[in-house]
Amino acid sequence: MMRKLSLLFAGALMGASAMSLVYGAPGSAANAAGSETYKQLAIFGDIFERVRANYVTPPDDKSLVENAINGMLASLDPHSSYMNAEQAQDMRVQTKGEFGGLGIEVTMENDLVKVITPIDDTPAAKAGVLAGDYIAKIDGEEVRGLTLNDAVEKMRGPVNTPIKLTILRQGADKPIELTVVRDIIKVKAVKYRVENDIGYMKITSFTEKTYDDLENAIENIKKQVPNDKLKGYVLDLRLNPGGLLDQAVSVSDAFLKRGEIVSTRGRDPKDVTRFDAKPKQVDDINGKPMIVLVNGGSASASEIVAGALQDLRRVTVVGTQSFGKGSVQTIIPLGENGALRLTTALYYTPSGKSIQGKGITPDIKVDQPLPPDLQGRDLTRGESDLKGHIKGADESSTGSGSAAYVPPDPKDDLQLIYAEKLLRGEKTDPAFPPNPDKAVLNQ
């Protein structure tokens, strides 16, 4: 039976989303169109038939319709789009945070799939796949000529089904053949570690598992460092393109004792939805100081978290201007035909400000220099640079966004180093620690 749901989507164009559930029948009728609209639709139908009949090569009808739909939606804003059945299913897989697969993080290099790292205790790791391996063939089919998405799709599949990988490994005199049996892969949405007396937590995306992963990270950090020794926490939201709205609310709630987290406002002035923290005596980290890191790769759901904790003066935000995506998309299921992603609202921080086209301005700006091999390349990311974006109420000529770069080695990470020095008292700044009595609230 088809679920009669729509999904609030607030993700950036970088691959993720931020959503909560909203009820609505798939394919529900919009307001009746006027006679002039039907005349225009008749023109479209006429052109469609003429293209089908007279174009120099026979076009694919399905592609024509999909491209026409996407052309209409793209004219609205950069985040509204049509997803066919395959794309809609992929979106559901991404937000669920688990799938049938091998358990490897990969990239594309020299037209081959390069293994960044195998995830611990997954089929790939158990079969002997190593970081740095190149996958040349998947079930005997050459990887060259495939996109990364195509290759990933081939490696995913039903649980308990085998797949044969042909691997090129440095030092091996011939290709290595490995057979891996797919299993359920649960992607960790939160990575964490202890830096002596500081708990570090990085949220990579907001999936259905993010809040549970965060709570697990907090619990394990507390076990590793006694409360009297723990200086505080760093919450890293850099390069986080977004995720589920309800998870962004839950993550914010974990660090708050009370207060509004975010509100969404639609076309109708009366269409306002507010999300508040659950009142409690102490937050999940026992009131310890915390610093949030953001950059141009921090978008949507991650900006909801940063904005809420900043406005309520729970944290100090360090880094550079965030992406600035403050629009909400509703995912309207279309049955076997996929889904419609349509911008239906804007979201606002507790102070009542829209970050659309503006972003979150850090309390302490710390730039991260680019390494020599990246200098000269434009790594700046921002909503205000997107063609056709909705102009935000607080957007200025300065725009939003900044460089979306984080060094792979923490020793080179100036933003992280600055945050840790603040927590340890090795650096001082008027913005740290923040004063909760000076919370900026919407009156």
Q: How far apart are CA 238 and CA 240, in angstroms?
A: 5
Question: Cα angle at 183 between 181 and 186, to 5 degrees?
Answer: 145
Q: Which residues are catalytic?
A: 300, 311, 325
How many angstroms separate the CA atoms of 416 and 114, rounded?
28
* C-alpha to C-alpha distances, 224 to 216, 229, 231, 411, nearest whole angstrom: 12, 10, 13, 22
The H or E element that residue 221 is part of is helix 210-224
Buried b (16+ CB within 10 A) or exposed e, 122-136: bbbbebebeeebbbb
> Is the preceding peptide bond at 408 cis, omega within 30 degrees of 0?
no
The answer to whether the beta carbons of residues 326 and 355 sit under 8 Å apart is: yes
Where would I find the beta strands (DSSP E) of 90-175?
Answer: 98-101, 104-109, 112-118, 134-138, 141-142, 162-168
CA angle, 190 as apex, 418 and 199 as ends, to 5°? 40
CA distance 236 to 384: 23
Taking the CB of residue 25, how many other CB atoms lie within 10 A of it? 12
Token code pair at residue 13? 């164009």
